[in-house]
Amino acid sequence: MSALSPLDRLMPRGYIRQMFCFPSTHKKISHILKAGLAGVVADVPYLLAGIVISEDRKHISLGESYQSLEDLYSEQDFSDTIDYAFIKQQHFPPSAFTVPGIIPPDTQPPFPNPAPVFRARLSLVKGGFILCVAIHHCTTDITGFGSLLKIWASHCRTGASTAAGFNPTWLNRKVLHERFNTSYRPIPASIPKLLHVKSPDDLARLPASASQPSDLTTGIFFFPQKTLLALKRTVNQHVISLDAKNWVSSGDILTALLWSAVLTAESESTSDGKDSSTIGFPVNFRSRFNPPLPPDYLGAAFIMTTATALREDLISLSSVASAPTNDEHLDSASISRLANISSIIRASLHSVDEESVRNALLYLEAASEDHPPITLGPRHDGISIVSWADQSICGLDWGDILGTCDAVRLPKLTYRRYPIVLPRVPANTDGDGEGLEVIVSFDRQIFEKFRQNWPIKQLSTLRCYS
């Protein structure tokens, strides 16, 4: 059994959970999924284990296997309740996934102890099926979750006893210990910049449904890839004109736009008198080592970082006064602001290198049991923006019987949730182009302000909301 790494133990003590929508109605759907999952368990045996939390809740570990395949996988029939063609026509609204029982058991609070590492539930609906998969966050991050789904899809596609391309090194959590052996590397004397000690403010930022407004709206916005690429060309022309060595990605630009829209929407209700705003976002560091970690490493391999920009620039970017006449021709002031904010985000991403990650891991490894609670990333102002864009789930081939999924969804949320960029949507036969979907959850008033900001109104389409 592979023990959790110090980084794994800092992950949220809950589940990464996603809903996958498939149009297949083949009678062997359940058989293929279950047989494929048996192959996944053979490759990744700790899926049968549980996450154990000590009585004082200070210590967390990966326990022994105590489950069978029957515990991991369940199914039910919602064909009289959910019509696939109808919810597809509505772009799979979050409210469609709130039917009691659609989420696997034991993956919603209060969690049992031990809490299962993995659960999956198949819901058969009229004209298709929905697969809800949940994995404990203390065993992986979103990239590792995507890798696990690739393993499952490979077994379903080929029927082979081992997933195509699977390598046992993906399971080796000791790799983070081995890279940073403290016998020849000095332990940082003070807490590294990519970590901080938890404060009451950190606890206040955690979602808590009991303290949230009752009129929350969960919405999904679609940003066409062609729009983002056109914006990227325009912004990079400005960036390169200032420094030929610099550039920004379409992901940096989308993060800047979402940051601007969120801050502007909340500015009246959360004005704190600060001249700047600081957001947090995760960075996958698998490729930043030399040699790199396996791209499909299944443990947690992300660290949080922050970016800080002037509130005036962020709010001006979303103001009506600077709104362009169309989505391809921004005025020069807007281009300059967007380029500056995107460059700040890019610089923050670049700052997460092997040295900074090494210092964080060394510190975590050496931290004493009585050390004050540590959390990932420098402190920020509460806004976090997460991207699942590279998870590559929508184009994943699950074989002739299952096919590919049409959409990745979360149920309607019962708490505030800052933007999550969902897995990239490929072009499809219905005529919809490639692009990125973004899900948010705000109280109704903030949601309306968010959707009316020009980065959202001009560059995206509101696909659905609940």
Per-residue pLDDT reduced to its tens digit, 315-333: 999 875 444 444 446 788 8
Domain residue limits, the chain: 8-179, 195-465
How far lies 378's CA from each of 202, 305, 445, in Å?
11, 6, 30
Question: Which portions of the chain are predicted below pLDDT 70?
Answer: 1-2, 179-185, 201-214, 268-273, 320-329, 429-431
Distance CA 105, CA 176 (A): 32
pLDDT at 123: 98
- Domain covering 8-179: architecture: 2-Layer Sandwich (3.30)
Tokens of 15: 């589940």
Examine domains 8-179 and 195-465 and report if their fold is the same. Answer: yes
Indicate the DSSP class of residue 83: B
How far lies 69's CA from each of 39, 48, 154, 268, in Å?
10, 8, 18, 51
Assigned CATH class of 195-465: alpha beta
pLDDT at 197: 93
Bridge partner residues of 116 (DSSP): 50
pLDDT at 213: 57
pLDDT at 187: 81
- In degrees and rounded to multiples of 5, residue 100 shows phi and psi of -55, 130
Report which of 139, 175, 158 is spatially closest to residue 44, judged by C-alpha positions: 139
How far lies 377's CA from each of 234, 348, 373, 420, in Å?
31, 12, 13, 18
Q: pLDDT tens, 213-224?
A: 568 999 999 999
Indicate the DSSP class of residue 416: -
Distance CA 139, CA 395 (A): 25
pLDDT at 80: 96
pLDDT at 179: 67
- The 10 Å Cβ neighbour count of residue 197 is 12
Q: What does pTM read for this prediction? A: 0.94
CB 362 within 8 A of CB 185: yes
Distance CA 132, CA 92 (A): 14
